[in-house]
DNA sequence: TGAAATTTACGTGGTAACACGTATTTCATA
DNA sequence: TATGAAATACGTGTTACCACGTAAATTTCA
């Protein structure tokens, strides 16, 4: 069932990277059928060629790797999608799981891992870089504090991250601004934030991505 | 004086990119003498081989492309340094000018321009991507407010973005915290920031990249 | 239903940030 | 050397944020 040389297409908007990846795959004897320089080209290649594997950059003009994965999910295409990215974002990892994406590799480690990834994915087994898993692990521990927060506290923390003042939050949630202050105080205690005036705002800004 | 095939070394911490660039230069018949995967390797290559041109990524482990340029400026090496980067930052452009850097290319356009750049630089003429110049122009308009700030005001703005309080800034700069408050107030006026309590901190955080 | 957690709210007091004004010193430069 | 810009510093008052405590209403769930 599994071919020894799976058909592959690739796409990346950085020509240098595209060339590097392309050359590498050809040297390694993979069956590279095409390459695109943006999301639209990538999508067309996938629908026309229907390759076994599509290796896509996440950030591309016209269509992101994630959007392509989303569109393909609706169609009856069983191309396995592998994403390459510069960014080590936890959110992307989670989204990737939902969109039946088969792999997720950091560009920094691509050369070492891409070959391994393709082999694994060809056998139908998802591949996620260990380096990414490490990062996820680290982040998860970091989130333990966050999960001690109650729903209301989280809601308020989000609003703080959106530059709202206590009074604005209060009127938005139809509660007293004193209540908001109390929540704030509790949040600070739970998160072990240093007791400086704007430390909570700073914290919220820095961890803004985890609050979505 | 100018060789027809200038000696070149390259360095980038992304193996895929390094491969792409390396393959490209070899295919085009350039005299590629070596490549490194971080700042330290790049620096050693430059001091040992003393190539005509060094093409360096800006962000690398151990030493950035800019730091390498800085070090080389002190030595009697006339290697011409060309930086490649993902980021379109105006400040880098300005710094590049100071450090007698000969070229500055965006990775997105590298393939189209790298050849042209090498030829130009070989003749001793600096090369900066037109695309970058366009961006600089755009950014400049955006920075007009920022440039109305005095040096001291900029310095303080940077420290604000680093979560410093007025008192911390004061003791760090050996001035009264009242002076810092005054600067703060002036900055807010100049930048037309809305008069809310933490608006300056928020502004500084959001424009943090332009303050480097 | 009853205990525990959560949400709601206030009192009191302290610090930081900001507005607006005034005033001195420093420094480049015309 | 004179003029203006910049940096320095203070006075005074307001608002926002934070700590710490108390306490009632509400929700959750065993």
Question: What is the per-residue pLDDT for B139?
Answer: 43
Cα separation, B118 vs B126, whole angstroms: 10
Of B87, B137, B134, the closest CA to residue B107 belongs to B87
- Confidence at residue B178, expressed as pLDDT on a 0 to 100 scale: 92
Stated in angstroms, how far is B204 CA from C15 C1'?
22
The pLDDT-based confidence of B76 (bands split at 50, 70, 90) is confident
* Burial tier of B98 (Cβ tally within 10 Å: 0-12, 13-18, 19+): exposed
pLDDT exceeds 70 at position A102 = yes
**What pLDDT is attached to residue A196?**
82
Provide mean pLDDT across the span B166-173. Answer: 89
Q: Are B14 and A110 an interchain contact pair (Cβ–Cβ within 8 Å)? A: yes
Q: With 60 as the cut, is the pLDDT of residue A88 above it? A: no
Q: What DSSP string runs through A90-134? A: HHHHHHHHHTT--EEEEGGGHHHHHHHHHHHHHTT--EE-HHHHH
Listing DSSP states for A123-166 in one string gives TT--EE-HHHHHHHHHHHHHHHHHHTS-HHHHHHHHHHHTT--H
Q: Is the pLDDT of residue A89 over 70?
A: no
Looking at chain B, the whole-number percentage of residues with pLDDT higher than 70 is: 77
Task: List the single best residue of B18, B20, B84, B177 to mutate versus A (max A Cβ within 10 A).
Answer: B20
Please count the residue pairs, one from chain A and one from chain B, whose beta carbons lie less than 8 angstroms apart: 77
- The minimal CB distance from B107 to the residues A16, A165, A198 is found for A16
Q: Which two tokens stand for residue B18?
A: 């390094």
Kindly report whether the global pTM for this prediction surpasses the value 0.75.
Answer: no
The distance (Å) linking the CA of A152 with the C1' of D13 is 35
C15 C1' to A140 CA distance, Å: 34
Q: Give residue B120's Cα distance to chain centre.
A: 20
A179 pLDDT exceeds 90? Answer: yes
Q: Which residue of B has its CA nearest to A114?
A: B16
Reported as half-sphere exposure (CB side, CA atoms, 13 A), residue A50 has a value of 4
Q: By the 8 A CB rule, do A1 and A24 touch? A: no
Residue of A18, A20, A55, A110 for testing the chain B interface, max B β-carbons within 10 Å: A20
Model confidence at A113: pLDDT above 90? no
**Does pLDDT of B171 surpass 60?**
yes
Percentage with pLDDT > 70 across chain A: 78
Residues B86-102 pLDDT 10s: 665 555 555 555 566 77
**A63 and A40 Cβ atoms separated by less than 8 Å:** yes
Separation of alpha carbons B201 and B54, rounded Å: 40
pLDDT of residue B79: 85
pLDDT for the residue B174: 87
Å: A119 CA to C30 C1': 75
The mean pLDDT value for B148-152 works out to: 83
* Chain C nucleotides covered by protein, CB below 7 Å: 5-11, 14-22
Cα-to-chain-centroid distance, residue B212? 10
| Nearest to A105, CA basis, from A137, A141, A73, A135 | A135
| Per-residue pLDDT reduced to its tens digit, A162-174 | 888 898 899 888 8
B19 CA: distance to closest CA in chain A (Å): 5
Residues of chain A in contact with residue B109, where contact means CB-CB under 8 angstroms, are: 15
Structure tokens at B11: 């360095």
SS3 B120: helix
User: What order do you get walking across the sheet with B31-36 strand by strand?
Assistant: B31-36, B7-11, B53-57, B80-85, B103-106, B127-128
Return the percentage of chain B with pLDDT > 90, whole number.
Answer: 7
Torsions phi, psi for A58 (to 5 deg):
-75, -45
Phi and psi at residue B82, to the nearest 5°? -120, 130
Given a cut of 50, whether residue B141 has pLDDT beyond it is: no
Work out the average pLDDT over A16-35. 88
Helix-then-strand count for chain B, H and E: 11, 6
From the alpha carbon of A160, which nucleotide's C1' atom is closest? Answer: D17
| Lowest mean pLDDT segment, chosen from A9-23, A45-59, A87-101, A118-132 | A87-101
Pick B146 or A173 by higher pLDDT: A173
Q: Which chain A residues are within 8 Å of B86, Cβ to Cβ?
A: 86
- What is the tens place of the pLDDT at every residue in B179-208? 999 999 988 888 888 878 888 888 887 776
Phi, then psi, of A11 in degrees rounded to 5:
-150, 135
pLDDT band of residue B68 (cuts 50, 70, 90) is confident
Residues B46-58 have pLDDT tens digits of: 888 888 989 988 7
CB-based burial label for A123 (10 Å; 0-12, 13-18, 19+): exposed
If one counts every other C-beta atom within 10 angstroms of the C-beta of residue A25, the result is 19
Give the chain A residue whose CA is nearest to the CA of B162: A202
């Amino acid at each position: 069932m599994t071919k020894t040389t799976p058909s592959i297409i690739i796409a990346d908007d950085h020509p240098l990277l595209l060339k590097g990846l392309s050359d590498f795959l050809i040297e390694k004897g993979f069956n590279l059928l095409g390459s695109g320089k943006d999301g639209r080209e990538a999508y067309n290649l996938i629908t026309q060629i229907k390759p076994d594997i599509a290796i896509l950059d996440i950030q591309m003009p016209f269509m992101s790797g994630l959007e392509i994965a989303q569109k393909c999910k609706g169609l009856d295409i069983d191309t396995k999608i592998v994403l390459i990215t510069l960014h080590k974002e936890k959110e992307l990892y989670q989204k990737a799981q939902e969109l039946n994406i088969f792999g997720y590799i950091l560009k920094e480690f691509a050369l070492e891992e891409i070959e391994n990834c393709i082999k694994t994915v060809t056998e139908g087994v998802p591949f996620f870089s260990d380096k990414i898993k490490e990062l996820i692990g680290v982040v998860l521990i970091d989130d333990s504090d966050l999960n001690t927060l109650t729903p209301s506290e989280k809601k308020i923390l989000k609003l703080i991250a959106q530059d709202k003042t206590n009074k604005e939050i209060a009127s938005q949630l139809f509660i007293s601004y004193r209540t908001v202050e109390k929540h704030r105080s509790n949040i600070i205690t739970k998160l072990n934030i240093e007791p400086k005036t704007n430390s909570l705002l700073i914290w919220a800004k820095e961890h803004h991505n985890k609050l979505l």
